[in-house]
Amino acid sequence: MSLTYTPVSEIPKIVQGLRSAFNAGVTRSLDYRKQQLRAMYNMISENDTAIREAVFQDLHKPPAELMIGESGMVKQECIDAIKNLDKWAANRSVKTGIVNKFDNVHIRKDPLGMVLIIGAWNYPLNLLLAPAVGAIAAGNTVLLKPSEVAPHTAALLTKLLPAYLDQRAYRIVNGAAAETTLLLEHKFDHIFYTGSGQVGRIIMGAAAKQLTPVTLELGGKSPAFISRDVDIAITARRLAFGKFFNCGQTCIAPDYLIVERGIEDKLIEAFKASILEFYGTSVQSSNSYGRIVNKSHFLRLKGLLDETKGKIVAGGEMDEDNLFISPTLVLGVDKDDKLMEGEIFGPILPLMVVDRLVEGVKHVNQGDQPLALYVFSKNKKAIDYILDHTRSGGVVVNDALVHFIVSNLPFGGTGPSGIGNYHGKRSFDVFSHERSALIKSMGMEKLNDLRYPPYSEKKTRWLDWFLFDKASFGGKAAVDAPPSNTHSSNSSTVNEASSISSNPNGRTSSPSLPENQHRKAAAKSENGNISHAPEASTATATTTV
Amino acid sequence: MTTAILNYHTEAEIDQAVLTVQQTFRSGYTRPLKFRRHQLEQLWRLIDDNTDALCDALYKDLRKPQYEATLGELITAKEEINDALVHLDEWAKDERTTPSFVNRVGTTCIKRKEPKGAVLVIAPWNYPVYLALTPLVGAIAAGCTAVLKPSEVTPHSAKLIAELIPRYLDNKAFIVVNGGAQETTQLLDHKWDHIFYTGNGTVAKIIMKAAAKHLTSMTLELGGKSPVTIDENANMTVAAKRIAFGKTFNAGQTCVAPDYILITAKAEEKFVPALKQAYLEMFGADPQASKDYARIVNTRHFKRLCNVLMENKSGDVVIGGQADEDDLYIAPTVIANVERDDKLMEEEIFGPLLPLIRVTDIDDAIEYVNSKDDPLALYIFSTNKKLVNKVLDSTRSGGVLVNDTLMHVSEGTLPFGGTGPSGMGSYHGKSSFDAFTHVRSTMIKGLSPVMESAMGLRYAPYTARNLSVAKMILETIPQFKRGFLQKYIKWIIVAVLFGVHYARNRRLS
């Protein structure tokens, strides 16, 4: 199956169609959204074999990795969204201050509109469809742009999607840089991009022209700290799992290890044992090991290994025709090594040996914030120290990768590793606008007179006292009391107020009652003044401007 | 560059300020809650001790009535601080979440609330104190360090803020930088961990482009033409008063001020006299003489507003219309029966001019609102619930307020922010804290060998049998495909597997 790019001339029509479908309210009803999510679930579960084949052709991805890392997760996201949609989409009522006490105050969850989702090639199914679940659940119309670097999956999805989802509201556009650039010229209400920081910058720059909000799921050099006290065999096993899953082409794969001096040799032996256990003596013939996605990435990785000053202590075999690179460990890598420059994104694992983990913390803080950070240790203090003194998108202690599949944990980066997060309810939130709604009654206008001009000092004090809490700490200045020093008549109002509020039947608004009466009197006298003024004068002079 | 009133910071000073806040953040100095609480208290004292000076500066900059300064800026800012102080522990606390099925045993999942880092807050001129200090409250509460750039358009307030902040807040963590476009550009060249900008869409685009270079997250608080729809059956006296309040507060220079009114011809007959009466009650016969009416911020904006009014071809000025350039005064002005594509309807008015657009019915009004950019606020005056819901469901806007204007901004529990061209992200109360916080998902597992053998399923070599077992454990059967027994099948399988595993281990030992 080869991938046909969407003709450039068709793109405006597709975008227009999605826009009008949103404006017509096609995607607003919750039943409709649930039905579409069900269809998405069915699309994946009914075409398991076809999906397996497509992703295998793109990445040589073993079915188990597809299930754990892609199809199973998307299905789970669908299930969660269907199950919780009523709850997520319900208006959230909020506590109110005293001014709006009698009014209806809530937060609506409105869809953003028409959104664009740009997928990545390393998990071509998951990273396109998991965000789409959130977008559909939130009631948006969605334009999907699968990665052209995984053409088989893109072609399959282009074929399957129209058969399951509503074509008015959900469309796919295929293409490479030229098509994407063109897409970005259109005005979307949100852009969700998964990929590299370099492209992330271009996308955010393009979004700036239209002030479109973005979610950027990027990457970074995710470090793994390993302290001396760990169970080395288990640590190596979990890290080998995390690093060699999808042949290291995972945004949260452990990028390099920061190992406390003394255990590196044992750790390498344990790694070798795990690799042997996982993939057998000939990794290349194992069904459980993926391949590099294409030649340019293969050559990039090969270049890294050629230029590194470290020593290859395991693996290092390559087969260009097969795009195969074996699980490779590189020892003796220092800060300036080629391997420590960019995100590796392949099955090469450098080991940086340090005397104390604090050095590692320093090293991590000198670079950009990574997307994930891993700590292997039994010492709670050491763990807390590392967590408190570093920044990263997410953290896993004593394991790798697994936080990705916990839908209750928001997944996303910080700084150069990404903007915004998703999964579970967060996916819904990403594509929703929290629209604050305050519905007031038309009554009690006399009470509102306080806030209208003409203003007076007395009014100010009353309002301050009435509207707001007082500082919860010992402020230097005493908190203003309600007006008491301007007129002697005021003190009686205050007394009245306090007497009413001490009345068990008095409501919270009781202090307003005497004020209300007081204001009434004031308003009367002011009205009296005003009525002397000739009414015409406000309407006549229109000349000056 | 430096103006008569305000000293601009030099290039070297700006670089130094940025370096200082970045280094301070990295040292972990601002992370302890105790530090944050103390700084918030100091900020409260800053406002409280200097209320008169702040009111004075605001009067000089905008001729802001003391009442509006106190209500719209000082008290509201203090209130944000109080709210943050009361809830800080609760907001900053780690949040526990339930791990998914596979990770349930022996795993802790936590959402850590971590400060984003060194942040830049750029404030506008219309509420020079409130809109400078309120975002700062969020930044302090979240544990960030910050550079605050007040607006140079209101120099008295900017100068005062630059004097006061160093006296009350920690100089290593919070620094004020004053300047114009050039200084702001220099600030934006640096790499920030978050940028919080309040202002207009044109500048916001420049800021977002600059932020894109460093992949910096942003909150953009912008504006837009916030419409008002009035139902024929609404109480016109009350509606008029509340609209007059919203439109003349700060002389209409409020991002959520009602921008224009959509009204039927029939309702207009009742509404215009009611509005006249409301203005008369509020400012008397001559608003210029009233001490309760603010001025336009500067000559440039004054001319802009006069031009808009002069170039507007259609409609009749039914209220106001006076202007006095020396005093920067423009009267509360209402223009009835304005055509839909006239000058007044092009951009956000941001002044005391109020156009009335005639619509045939509510559908017509909705269609018109939807033909324009998403506004920051939408106002509906109606007691008809069905009609209100219809408008809410078929329009988009940052926030919605039914039967009043502006008041939703003061509701600390409501997130305040726009959508689309009216802004990105929201703040106030907990939302302010969240805007400057990175939710760091944290998962903590043990290294016990017993659990490790139970996890063997996920490791290679991948076999078909392992796959089907893993599938059964990992995958949930969706409710819409689920029978009674299937609900519990997962637990049964796990129980059996554990049983087998346990028995095998026992036999081995």
Query: ipTM of the predicted structure?
Result: 0.89
Residues of B assigned a catalytic role? 221, 255
Task: Note whether B393 contacts A: Cβ–Cβ < 8 A.
Answer: yes
- Compute CA B309 distance to the chain's CA centroid, rounded to the nearest angstrom: 30
Residues of B in contact with A234 (CB under 8 A): 447, 449, 452
Mutate which: A406, A430, A456, A524, vs B, most B CBs within 10 A? A406
pLDDT at A514: 38
- Residue B293 CB partners (closer than 8 Å, separation 6+): A453, B65, B248, B251, B283, B287, B332
> What one-character DSSP code corresponds to residue A7?
P
Cβ–Cβ gap B459/A189 under 8 Å: no
Overall average pLDDT of the B434-457 stretch = 85
Answer whether A544 sits within 8 Å of B323, measured CB to CB: yes
Report the C-alpha gap between A56 and B42 in whole angstroms. 61
| 3-class SS of residue A450 | helix
Partner A contacted by B479 (CB < 8 A) = yes
Compute the radius of gyration of chain B from its Cα atoms. Answer: 28
- A535 interface with B at CB cutoff 8 Å: yes
Task: Taking residues A104-124, report their average pLDDT.
Answer: 95
Closest CA to B83 of B408, B414, B423: B414
CB contact under 8 A, B49 and A378: no
What 3-state DSSP class applies to B393?
Answer: helix
d(CA A355, CA A340): 19
Per-residue pLDDT at A544 exceeds 60: no
Q: Identify the pLDDT of residue A515.
A: 40
Which amino acid appears at position B403 of this protein?
N
CA A295 to chain centre: 32
- How many helices and strands (H and E) does chain B possess? 18, 18
pLDDT at residue B484, as a whole number: 63
Among residues A446, A444, A443, the alpha carbon closest in space to that of A516 is found at A446
Range in A532-536, B105-109, B115-119, B237-241 the model is least confident about? A532-536
Give CA–CA dist A53/A61, Å, rounded: 9
From the list B139, B106, B103, B129, the residue with the least C-alpha distance to B46 is B129
- Residue type for position B485: L
Which of A171-185, A432-446, B412-426 has the lowest average pLDDT? A432-446
3-state secondary structure of A524: helix
For residue range A390-404, list pLDDT tens digits in order. Answer: 999 999 999 999 888
Dist. CA B201–CA B422, nearest whole Å: 8
Rounded-to-integer distance, Cα A416 and Cα B438, Å: 13
The CA distance from B429 to B129, in Å, is 17
Block residue for tokens 């009267």:
B331
Tell me if B462 and A527 make a contact (CB, 8 A cut-off). Answer: no
Does B449 contact chain A (CB < 8 Å)?
A: yes
A541 — alpha (psi -120 to 50), left (phi > 0) or beta? beta
Q: Which residues pair with A92 in a beta bridge?
A: A107
Question: Looking at the predicted structure, is the pLDDT value of residue A490 above 50?
Answer: no
Matching residue, tokens 């209409």: B252
Residue A534 pLDDT > 70:
no
The candidate with the shortest Cα–Cα distance to B199, out of B104, B285, B135, B106, is: B135
Chain B from 254 to 313: CB within 8 A of any A CB: 276, 279-286, 290-293, 306, 309-310
Tokens of B366: 């909705």
Rg (alpha carbons) of chain A, rounded to whole number: 31
Least Cα distance to B418 among B210, B187, B127, B218 occurs for B218
B459 touches chain A (CB under 8 A): yes
E-assigned strands of A342-485? 348-354, 372-376, 394-397, 411-412, 418-419, 421-422, 432-439
Average pLDDT over all residues of chain B? 92
Which whole number is the average pLDDT over A361-381? 95
List residues of A with catalytic annotation. Answer: 217, 251
pTM over 0.80: yes
Interchain CB distance below 8 Å, A473 and B85: yes
% of chain B surpassing 90 pLDDT = 80
User: DSSP character for B6?
Assistant: -
**DSSP secondary structure letters along B209-257:** HHHHHHT-EEEEE-----EEEE-TTS-HHHHHHHHHHHHHGGGG--TTS
Mind listing the pLDDT tens digit for each residue in A287-329?
999 999 999 999 999 999 999 999 999 999 999 999 999 999 9
Does the beta-carbon distance from A545 to B310 stay under 8 Å? Answer: yes
* Strand-pair category, A421-422 with A411-412: antiparallel
Best of A226, A377, A435 to substitute, by most chain B Cβ atoms within 10 angstroms, is: A435
Task: Chain B: give the shortest CA distance to residue A4, in Å.
Answer: 31
- pLDDT tens for B152-182 read 999 999 999 999 999 999 999 999 999 999 9
B75 contacts chain A (CB < 8 A): yes
> Is B82 at the interface with chain A, CB within 8 A?
yes
Residue with more model confidence, A155 or B98: A155
A-B interface: how many C-beta pairs under 8 angstroms?
Answer: 401
Residue with tokens 């008290």: B75
Structure tokens, A385: 């120290």
Other C-beta atoms lying within 10 Å of the C-beta of residue B356 = 25
Of A28, A112, A537, the CB nearest to B285: A537
The closest CB to that of A237, out of B85, B286, B459, belongs to B459
User: What's the residue count for chain A?
Assistant: 545
User: Mutate which of B78, B424, B443 to test chain A, going by most A C-beta atoms within 10 A?
Assistant: B443
Indicate whether A482 pLDDT > 50: no
Using a CB cutoff of 8 Å and minimum separation of 24, what contacts does A19-23 make? A19/A113, A19/A114, A19/A141, A21/A141, A21/A168, A21/A169, A22/A111, A22/A113, A22/A114, A22/A140, A22/A141, A22/A169, A23/B370
pLDDT(B382) > 90: yes
Q: Which pLDDT value is given to residue B487?
A: 67
The reply to whether A74 touches chain B by the CB within 8 Å rule is no
Report chain A residues whose CB lies below 8 A from the CB of B201.
211
Please indicate if any CB of chain A lies within 8 Å of the CB of B502. Answer: no
Q: Which two tokens stand for residue B176?
A: 């004020």
The CA distance from B286 to B279, in Å, is 10
* Amino acid type, B459: Y
List the single residue in B205, B279, B402 with the smallest CB-CB distance to A209.
B205
**Chain A residues inside the 8 Å CB shell of B223:** none
CB-CB contact of B54 with B157 (8 Å): yes
Ramachandran class of A384: left when φ > 0, alpha when ψ lies in -120 to 50, beta otherwise: alpha
Rounded CA-CA distance B442/A409 in Å is 8
Mean pLDDT of B134-153: 97
Residues of A with Cβ-Cβ distance to B407 under 8 angstroms: 99-100, 438, 440
Burial of B142 (0-12, 13-18, 19+ CB in 10 A): buried
| From A72, A95, A399, residue closest to B475, measured CB to CB | A72
Nearest CA distance, A148 vs chain B (angstrom): 24
Q: Three-state SS string across A480-523, please?
A: CCCCCCCCHHHHHHHHHHHHHHHCCCCCCCCCHHHHHHHHHHHH
Q: Does residue A527 have a pLDDT over 50?
A: no
- Which residue of B116, B205, B322 is in closest CB contact with A541? B322
When pLDDT is cut at 50, 70 and 90, the band that residue B101 belongs to is low
- Among residues A359, A225, A388, the alpha carbon closest in space to that of B28 is found at A388
Please answer whether residues B200 and B222 qualify as being in contact, where contact means their C-beta atoms are separated by less than 8 angstroms: yes
- A229 burial class (0-12, 13-18, 19+ CB within 10 angstroms)? middle
Average pLDDT score over residue span A1-6: 83
Scan residues 107-136 of B and list those with Cβ closer than 8 Å to A.
109, 111-112, 114, 116-117
The answer, for B68 touching chain A at a CB cutoff of 8 Å, is yes
Query: Which of 373-392 (B) contact A at CB < 8 A?
Result: 381, 383, 388, 392
Question: According to the model, what pLDDT value does residue A338 have?
Answer: 94
pLDDT, residue A113, reads 95
**Which whole number is the average pLDDT over B460-486?**
76
Interchain CB contact of A482 with B (< 8 Å): no
Q: Say yes or no: B430 contacts chain A, CB-CB below 8 A.
A: no
* Chain center to CA of A513: 48
